[in-house]
């Protein structure tokens, strides 16, 4: 599948901080009740960056965003399945469209930000899998690229060994979108980026944007996997969001998800997959916080 909008910047010198020698654990089986020590001293995932948590979906037999209690305006082809922590949301070529969530609806709410969730999906040979979209509302959004797009390029052949996590972010300081993205692809494996297996197991996926460093990073099972050459976006600055906003789970902001001004493109499939423990933060999570979320949620805490 064609890659979109990757702006290649000068490669950064790669240091040991990339964790190239560290391997992620992609086995989603865990023995609960015997947790290993968790960095940061956290006991429960709800303690991680609690003061910066803007929105949270636990999907424990509810599709409501738990902090605002907002429920979907449109609910298409969704159900509940066993998750990493309680229940999870399953979409079968489906999506959920939410009304405006106040905490995600201010100009500077996501100046720096992180999105954390568990995903269960495989390459399908045809369409992209979009998990979380934050866009202008349905009366104003005219593009599938908007404020936050967190997805996986599952359009690769189902027999491919690996999958590509791909996130786009957008800022609108003068009313027009300026975009950036990152992906775990392109260049030398283990040097420029890390692979994520097309296994169908649960994967902990984190997108992090730090306005102070202007770095956009992607994590899988607590390991940074995204491309070093694309991470630093000099001049991007804090994310400035247009308002009002709406959230879509499982699809892009397009005609397929009730955004009449935005065309549906050929790779814009609705999600066939599951997600769990979706959290949106108004900060760039630290590596310790990302590791704690991964370990605690995997153990149901």
Mean pLDDT by 10 residues, the chain (301 residues): 39 38 58 64 94 98 97 98 94 98 97 98 97 97 97 97 98 96 97 97 98 98 98 96 98 98 96 98 98 94 91
CB atoms within 10 A of CB 213: 14
Q: Within 13 Å of residue 161, how many CA atoms lie on the same side as its CB?
A: 3
Does some domain include residue 16?
A: no
- If one counts the domains in the chain, the total is 1
Helices (H), the chain: 228-231, 287-298
Does some domain include residue 36?
A: no
Does some domain include residue 220?
A: yes
Does some domain include residue 250?
A: yes
Please state, in angstroms and rounded to a whole number, the distance separating the CA atoms of residues 295 and 300: 9
Does some domain include residue 286?
A: yes
| pTM, full prediction | 0.89
Does some domain include residue 182?
A: yes
pLDDT attached to residue 23: 59
Q: Which domain holds residue 91?
A: 75-298
pLDDT attached to residue 8: 35
What is the DSSP code (8-state) at residue 45? Answer: G
Q: Residue 273 maps to which CATH number?
A: 2.60.120.200
pLDDT attached to residue 39: 81
Maximum pairwise Cα distance, the chain: 52
């Amino acid at each position: 599948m064609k890659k979109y909008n990757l702006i290649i910047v000068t490669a950064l010198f790669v240091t040991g901080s990339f964790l190239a020698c560290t391997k992620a654990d992609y086995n989603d089986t865990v023995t609960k009740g015997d947790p290993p020590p968790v960095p940061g001293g956290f006991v429960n995932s709800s303690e991680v960056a609690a003061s910066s948590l803007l929105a949270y979906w636990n999907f424990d037999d509810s599709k409501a965003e738990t902090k605002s209690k907002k429920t979907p305006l449109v609910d298409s082809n969704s159900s509940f399945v066993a998750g990493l922590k309680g229940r999870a949301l399953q979409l079968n070529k489906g999506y959920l469209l939410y009304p405006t969530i106040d905490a995600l609806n201010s100009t500077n709410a996501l100046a720096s930000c992180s999105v954390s969730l568990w995903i269960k999906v495989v390459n399908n040979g045809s369409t992209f899998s979009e998990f979380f979209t934050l866009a202008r509302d349905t009366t104003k959004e005219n593009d599938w690229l908007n404020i936050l797009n967190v997805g996986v390029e599952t359009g690769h052949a189902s027999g491919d060994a690996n999958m590509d996590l791909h996130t786009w972010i957008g800022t609108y300081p003068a009313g027009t979108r300026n975009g950036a993205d990152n992906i775990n692809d392109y260049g030398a494996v283990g040097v420029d980026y890390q692979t994520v297996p097309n296994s169908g197991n649960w994967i902990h996926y984190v997108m992090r944007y730090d306005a102070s460093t202007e770095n956009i990073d992607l994590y899988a099972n607590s390991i940074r996997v995204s491309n070093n050459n694309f991470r630093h976006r000099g001049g991007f600055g804090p994310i400035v969001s247009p308002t009002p906003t709406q959230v879509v789970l499982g699809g892009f902001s397009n005609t397929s998800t009730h955004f009449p001004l935005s065309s549906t493109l050929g790779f814009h499939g609705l999600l066939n997959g599951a997600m769990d423990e979706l959290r949106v933060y108004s900060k760039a999570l630290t590596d310790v916080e990302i590791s704690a979320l991964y370990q605690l949620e995997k153990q149901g805490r």
